[in-house]
Every structure is written in structure tokens, then in C-alpha cells.
Amino acid sequence: MWIVLLLISLILVGISVFIITSAVFIDEGQYKASEKLDDNVGKDKILQQGVILRYSRPFFRRYVVPIVSNMKQRGKIRNKYKRKLAMSGLTVIISPEEFYSFKLFLIIGFPVLFIGVKLLADADWPMTTMIPLAFFGFVYPDLWLSGKIKQRQEDIIINMPFAIDMLALCVEAGLDFIAAMAKVVEKARRSSLSEEFELLMKEITVGASRAEALRNLSWRVGLINITSFCATLIAADSVGASIGPILKALAIEIRQKRSNEVEKKAAKAATKILFPMMIFIVPAVFIIVATPLALEFMLAKK
């Protein structure tokens, strides 16, 4: 057992020394430039992404990102995480290389944090706990990213009916597509969907065609509803059809789908609550009902 712990310790020390040694040769100008980009993005957006990313970001950006950027597999890493980061809305905050560096950093970060808490608390925790913690450190960013994607997609689905209804009204009132979308962004509450509409308008403003911008929107969001919305608008644009009635039909369809999803969740809720009720509520009711009868029977016997 001690041999295994010694090997793990040596590996962690070796990785730490490698990272620190590599950091000595990092281009300081490049690091300072990335820090200025952070100022442009806004510290508040970074602080909203959770405690782990907030406190580990300066370290993995300074010491791990330069190593990942020079890896031969850099292209594969970028292709693997580029769309996931776009779907989560974190493209501006963290790049694919930084995300992979985050994963590598936590392999060491979680065990080191474990040792620090163990020493401070003077706890008798087994050192073998570092092994699953290192594995969890590598997996945690993927779980965190999946949660961000799911949360963002749910927010988009919730806001779609109102946004598309308003878009249809603006188009039928005589506004063109860009002006109608700008009006939706102005009047609708701030959400992931309004952010995507803003990005869509920026792409069209800088020269992208409407079809190309809509395809990019569909690629970034990764939802069937948005894909259907974009495909319908692209088809209508290609034949020159009026998009007002089409948008109204889409809004009705999305509301119907949302209503069906709510009904499904309500049906599942009745099944899910059955087991907690059998375990916790039924025994309590049985005790309340049966206790007076049991006492009465015992007293009558005496």
C-alpha cells in the first residue's frame, strides 16, 4: 500500500515540477495579453461560473495552457470541445485549450486540496482517497459543462414562444428581419435566447448571409426546436415567402410541444413520489392511526 502511495506522490511531484519548469519559458507578453482579454470580457461573467473555475483559472491559464497549446493533439482538443462550449454559452469566457487545461489542472488540484484540508482538520483520512479524487478532477469539468448546456437549453426553450410570437408581430407590422429581431432583443427579458439573437444580428451586420447566420445559430444551440426554426426561415428566405405566418405557426407548434413536455413531467412526478410516500409518509400515518388502537387494546386486556 505504501509503495502505491509513494508512486502516486512521485508522479504528482513530477507533474508539478514539469508544469513549473515549463512555465519559466512562457512568453510573459502572451500571458499579459490574455489577462487584458479577461478585462474586456468582464470579471463578473467569470465570477458567475462557479467557485472551482474562479479560483483555479489563474493557475491553469498561467501554467497549464501554454503546455496544452503546444501539444500535437491541439486540433483534436479544439474540435472536441468547441461546439460544447458554444452550446453552453462559454465561448467568450473559456477556450477549448483552456477547458482541457482546467481538466488537467484538477487532476493535481483536487488531491492537493484534499491534503491541505486533511492537514488543517488533522483528520485521519486514508491517502488512497487521492486516487478517485484525481480521476474525479479530470471528469468534473465535463459534468459541469453538461449541466451548463442543459440549463441554457432549458432557458432557450422557455423563452422561445414569446420571442417568436413577438418576432412574427414585428414582421407583420412592416419591420424587416433584422429590425424585428432587434425589437425582440430590446423588449424580451434578458435570456440565453436574446444573447443568441444578438450574436445572430452581429454576424449578419458584419457580412454573413441570413442563411449562414441561422445555420451558425442552429449549430451553437443544438436544439431540435431551434434547428426547425432556422431551417424553416432558411427555406422561406430561399423562395421569397413571407415569414410572418410561418413564425406564427412555429410559435403554436413550440407551445404545443412545451405543453406536452409539461404533461409528461407531471405524469412522471406522480410515479416518482410514490416510493418516498411508501417509505416515509405511509409508515407515519400507520403509526398515528395504529398507536391509539394498540394502546386501547393493551389497556382493555389489563
Residue 196: which of 243, 155, 148, 248 has the closest Cα? 155
Q: Cβ neighbours of residue 156 under 8 Å, at least 6 residues apart?
A: 191, 192, 193, 196, 221, 223, 225, 226
Which alpha helices (DSSP H) does the chain contain, by range?
2-24, 28-41, 43-47, 51-63, 65-69, 74-88, 96-121, 130-172, 177-187, 192-205, 210-221, 224-239, 243-272, 274-276, 282-301
CB 117 within 8 A of CB 148: no
Shared domain check, 137 and 7? yes
The grid coordinates listed for 216 are 451558425
Query: For the CA atoms of the chain, what is the radius of gyration?
Result: 27
Residues 12 and 146 in one domain: yes
Encode pLDDT of 86-96 as tens digits: 998 888 888 89
Alpha-carbon span 168 to 9, nearest angstrom: 62
Q: Measured in whole angstroms, how far is the alpha carbon of residue 115 from the centre of its chain?
A: 29
For residues 41 and 93, the answer to whether their CB atoms sit within 8 Å is: yes
The count of structural domains within the chain is 3
What is the domain-level CATH number for residue 158? 1.20.81
Q: Please tell me whether residues 8 and 19 are part of one structural domain.
A: yes
CA distance 119 to 45: 33
Rounded to an integer, what distance in angstroms lies between the CA atom of residue 118 and that of residue 104? 22
User: Do residue 60 and residue 117 come from a single domain?
Assistant: yes
- The separation between the first and the last C-alpha atoms of the chain, rounded to the nearest angstrom, is 64
What is the model's pLDDT at position 145?
93
Per-residue model confidence as pLDDT tens digits over 9-56: 656 555 655 555 554 444 444 545 455 555 555 566 666 777 788 888
Residue that is last in its domain, among 150, 173, 208:
150
Place of cell 403509526: 287
Same domain, 122 and 12: yes
Q: Determine the structural domain holding residue 280 and report its residue range.
A: 271-301
For 133, the grid coordinates are 479524487
Q: Checking phi first, is residue 174 left (phi over 0); if not, alpha (psi -120 to 50) or beta?
A: left
183 vs 255: CA distance, rounded Å:
21
Q: Are residues 280 and 264 in the same domain?
A: no
pLDDT for the residue 125: 79
Segments of the chain with pLDDT less than 50: 23-29, 31, 33
Q: Which of 172, 169, 173, 199 is nearest to 184 (CA)?
A: 169
Spatial distance between the Cα atoms of 274 and 57, rounded to a whole number of angstroms: 44
Q: Which residues, in sequence order, are CB contacts of 38 under 8 Å at separation 6+? A: 46
Residues 143, 180 within the same domain: no
Whether residue 73 sits in one domain with residue 33? yes
Classify residue 189 by its DSSP letter: P
DSSP secondary structure string for all residues of 125-173: --GGGHHHHHHHHHHHHHHHHHHHHHHHHHHHHHHHHHHHHHHHHHHHT
210 and 87 together in one domain:
no
Let me know whether 11 and 89 are in one domain: yes
Query: Under a CB-based contact definition with an 8 Å cutoff, are residues 175 and 183 in contact?
Result: yes
Write down the pTM of the prediction. Answer: 0.75
pLDDT value at residue 24: 46
Q: Do 277 and 226 sit in the same domain of this protein? A: no
